[in-house]
Structures are given as structure tokens and as C-alpha cells.
A and B are shown apart, each in its own frame.
Chain A
Amino acid sequence: MPVTAEQQGVTALLSKMREGLGASGRPNVATRWYAKRNGDTFLRAPWCDMRVTWAAYHSGTYDAVCFGTDFAWTVAHATAFERRGRWTYGTDGIRAGDVIFFDWQGGRHSIQRIDHVGVVEKVLPDGRVQTIEGNTSDALKRKLRGRGTITGYGRPDWARAGGGEISLQKGDSGPLVSALQQDLLKVGQKLPKWGADGDFGDETVAAVKAFQQSSGFTGRDLNGVAGPKTRAALDKALKR
């Protein structure tokens, strides 16, 4: 069964949200990145939405999650979802990868009262959600949230995640990389030292290049990056 843009996007976004679980304090990886783009005053600012923006940018889902804008203020981010018809009050229909917004005074029906944001990792059978959140006690943590404080959620426009495709390259990690490595092995490429370890290192770059070469790629296409063209060639090879 082919992997959908949403499945790819959710996997990539959550993978980046998980990166560095437990990290705490400011400045941190998200606030430094955000401050470099938007000014040093963000270095020590509340960072829950900076973490979501950082994860989206580094997972190839920035356009899907942030619509081309860096968000630090949760109200602005929720409003961006609402303006695009991608906002839902409450939790009906919520699922993994949704961007969830909270109001500590009771999850009232008002975007303007939102205080906090995270990304949904799992929806429990009882309707509560398990999330990953930055700036929860000034740290990056998994949390369990009940309906009482949830204002609503934004559904990322997954079709905009890397144009519906995700490019994997050196430095990436997670389930998508692991799946890529397994496919490379299936089509006869070699990963002798590390195997399908989920980390896109030099060995995986070499395997992707070797596959691209064997598929007739030349010039800029022979780059060791598993983009849409390489993915298509890999899918074709897997069917042989």
C-alpha cells in the first residue's frame, strides 16, 4: 500500500518533535534557530510554538504546518489554521500529527484565549490525547491532556508537505529513513556497517548514490538525496 503524504508528513513531524525529548531551559535548539531568523529577543521567550515551527521546518512540513510563516505566538498560529479552514474547536476527529492548542482557563470557544500548543502523538480510546510539547515546565515532554483545557486543533495541509513528497538526506533520522534503508537493501544496495538503523549518514548517502547511478541518474540528480525522483525509481525497482 503506498504511503500517503499525510502519513509521511505525520511521521516526519513527530520524529522531529521527539528529537531531544527532555531538553530544557532557554536558549535551546528551537529558540536559537528562531532567533537567528527573527531576532535575538526570541532567545529566551516562551517557546512552545517556536518548537512546533522548528520541527515543521526541519521535517519538510513547514508549509503544511506553518503555511510559510514562523510562529511563536499561539494565537497567531491557530488563527492561521482557522483562516485556511483547517481549524476545529474541541477534539472531534483529532488524530496524530494535528497541532493542538490549549487554554489553561478552560478550553473555551475562543482562539484569542489560547495559551499553549503541542503536537498530537496518540489519541487514547477514552478521547484524551497524548502530545509532545515544548515549554511545558520549560522542557520538551510527552504529556497527557484531557478535553477540559483543549481549545481545538489545526489540521496541517499535508499535501503541502514538500509538495506532497519528502526528501530525505544526510542528517535525517527516524522511521522514514529506516524504511528507505530497508528498501535500498531490498533492491540490492549495501549498508554493511550500520544497516537499516534509521540514521541517514555517509553510508546511506553512498547507497542512495549507488542506486541513483544504477538507475541512470546523472548530473544534479546523482546527489545522494532521496527525493521524489529517487523515491519513484526505488518504487519501480521494488516491483521488479
Chain B
Amino acid sequence: MTGDDAPNEGQAGERPFPGPEEELTQAEQLRQLTETGTQSVDATEPDEEDVLRDLYGEPDEDGIYRGSDA
């Protein structure tokens, strides 16, 4: 599982990496992606909105800080 605010799928923790010199196959990446898990946590900084507003101005109606360059 990768992402944040995600449901707790599978078992979070140390994930054994097979360690071949070549990269993992897509099938193995998908298996790891769906079978290993993470805890659902809120890792948002408490002043995130203030900082993003200072950097990019007011968010749009969906709460997205687009700025002028997006």
C-alpha cells in the first residue's frame, strides 16, 4: 500500500526486499503494493494551510493551492 490517509490494508512494517540487482517485475511490484500495508495516519503539518496560502495564495473552491504557475 502506498499513499496517505489510506485504509489499513495488510501488515505494515519491514517489507523484505528480495534484493536482485535488476529491478522487480511489475507483477511483484503490484503484489507488494496490494499485499503490504501501512498504518492510516494523519501526517499533515498543523500549519499546512497557512504555509501553502503564503506560498500560493488562496486555494480554489476544492481547497487546492494552484498558484499562478499550475
Contacts and interface: CB of A to CB of B under 8 A. Distances in A.
Contacts of A70: 26
A104 B30 contact: no
Interface string B39-70: 11101110110011001100010101110011
A28 interface: no
Contacts, number: 132
A183 interface: no
Given A73-B24, A122-B55, A143 B48 contact: yes
A115 B56 contact: no
A146 to B, nearest CB: 5
Contacts of A135: 2-4, 6
Residue with the highest number of chain B CB atoms closer than 10 Å, among A83, A115, A143, A149 = A115
B33 A73 contact: yes
Interface string B1-44: 11111100000111111000101101101101110001111011
A71 B70 CA distance: 25
A142 B65 contact: yes
Interface residues of A, number: 54
Interface of B: 1-6, 12-17, 21, 23-24, 26-27, 29-30, 32-34, 38-41, 43-45, 47-48, 51-52, 55-56, 60, 62, 64-66, 69-70
28 contacts: A18-B69, A21-B65, A21-B66, A22-B62, A38-B26, A39-B30, A41-B30, A46-B3, A46-B6, A46-B33, A47-B3, A49-B2, A67-B23, A69-B23, A73-B30, A76-B29, A102-B4, A105-B12, A105-B41, A111-B17, A113-B14, A116-B38, A135-B2, A142-B65, A144-B51, A144-B52, A148-B43, A149-B43
A143 B4 CA distance: 11
A117 interface: yes
Main secondary structure on A side of the interface with B: mixed
A130 interface: yes
B2 A73 contact: yes
Contacts of A137: 4-5
